[in-house]
Amino acid sequence: MTTAAAIAGILWLALTAYAVLAGADFGGGVWDLLASGPRAAGQRRAVAEAMGPVWEANHVWLIFMITGLFTAFPTAFGKLALALYLPFTIAMTGIVLRGAAFAFRGHARGAVEPLSAWGVVFGSASVVTPFFLGTAAASVATGQVDSWPTPYGLLVGAFAVAICAYLAATYLVVETEGTPLEADFRRRAVGAGLASGVLGLLTLALAPALAPTLFHSLTGRGLALLVLALINGPAAAWAVWRSRPRLARLAVVAQVICVLWAWAAGQWPYLLPPTTTIDAAAAPSGTLNAMLVVVAIGMALLLPSLWLLFRVFKKAEASGPRPAA
């Protein structure tokens, strides 16, 4: 394996982390927007409490990925930036508004109106951002970087939103275990699971006609992971349905990982199919080696810190409902 391939692998891991962590934060925004019923306020509070301590750290995976991409694969980055200018700009707007809205609203908790408008901004930006990131990802995966937007991309965008909502709902079931909110989020998990299942299968079914490159990848090198995803999907749905929150959370995360890595394995050794390979797009070896060193040092600092963060805020639930903060 070349250094370039190792770095591509690291960046893909970062993308995976971004998807399962920040993806759930986007999903949280979706459920904030769709909060309803007698416990709507409680649902919003649960979302805010679950996201509060961790969303900024989750968000940094994206920054890591961007800086990593332009350091290690500058030409590919330049190409992507030009071709996908519009979806990236929209997603970026969503990211800015969403983060700021969350902070503003959290800050004004208890305070009155004009600020509650920021709640709507937070929710809608949480839908818009993953949608456009999904369409951009579809452009890369289908080898049609230069022809954004495609109808197929729109479908993938919708799939991305659904799976974010699914992730968030299953996490929130765990976070609200033992409270009345648990049932609310379980229902939402079932709904989001159905939606993402249907959209996912549709994406796959339409691939031979609309995205032959992607279909070829998924049924080529990506086949094993694709099959795993097809088996794991119903298993996740079963766990959600039968109220096995922890198992469900694990299975949904596994589902996202399978999909992302089936795509990655499928398009190997291309970074931007159909022409740009990982090695061809890579920066000179001096840069790649230095980057590996920086990443190694960085991760040595980062991983224990992350572990601490999640231990402090995400472990308490294991021993029953946590005390009110």
Q: Where does this chain bind other proteins (CB under 8 A)?
A: 52-54, 56-57, 59-60, 62-64, 66-68, 70-72, 74-75, 77-82, 85-86, 88-89, 92-93, 95-100, 102-104, 106-108, 111, 118, 283-284, 286-287, 290-291, 294-295, 297-298, 301-302, 305-306, 308-309, 312-313, 316, 323, 325
Which two structure tokens, joined as six digits, stand for 178? 């033992």
User: Between the CA of residue 201 and those of 62, 195, 226, what are the distances in Å?
Assistant: 27, 10, 11
Q: How far is the CB of 219 from other proteins (least distance, A)?
A: 32
Q: Please, which residue, 72 or 204, has the CB nearer to other proteins?
A: 72
Q: How far is the CB of 234 from other proteins (least distance, A)?
A: 35
Q: Please, which residue, 64 or 152, has the CB nearer to other proteins?
A: 64
User: Between the CA of residue 23 and those of 232, 257, 261, 298, what are the distances in Å?
Assistant: 19, 12, 16, 23
Which two structure tokens, joined as six digits, stand for 55? 């969303």
Q: Please, which residue, 148 or 166, has the CB nearer to other proteins?
A: 148
Q: How far is the CB of 282 from other proteins (least distance, A)?
A: 9
Q: Please, which residue, 85 or 241, has the CB nearer to other proteins?
A: 85
Spatial separation of the C-alpha atoms in residues 124 and 30, rounded to whole Å = 7
Q: Please, which residue, 41 or 325, has the CB nearer to other proteins?
A: 325
Spatial separation of the C-alpha atoms in residues 103 and 90, rounded to whole Å = 20
| Side chain identity at residue 76, one-letter code | A
Spatial separation of the C-alpha atoms in residues 123 and 137, rounded to whole Å = 22
Q: What phi-psi label fits residue 282: left (phi over 0), alpha (psi between -120 and 50 degrees) or beta? A: beta
Spatial separation of the C-alpha atoms in residues 210 and 7, rounded to whole Å = 31
Q: How far is the CB of 107 from other proteins (least distance, A)?
A: 5
Q: How far is the CB of 40 from other proteins (least distance, A)?
A: 23
Which two structure tokens, joined as six digits, stand for 8? 């591509």
Q: Please, which residue, 19 or 189, has the CB nearer to other proteins?
A: 19
Q: How far is the CB of 39 from other proteins (least distance, A)?
A: 23
The tally of CA atoms less than 13 A away on the side-chain side of residue 188 is 30
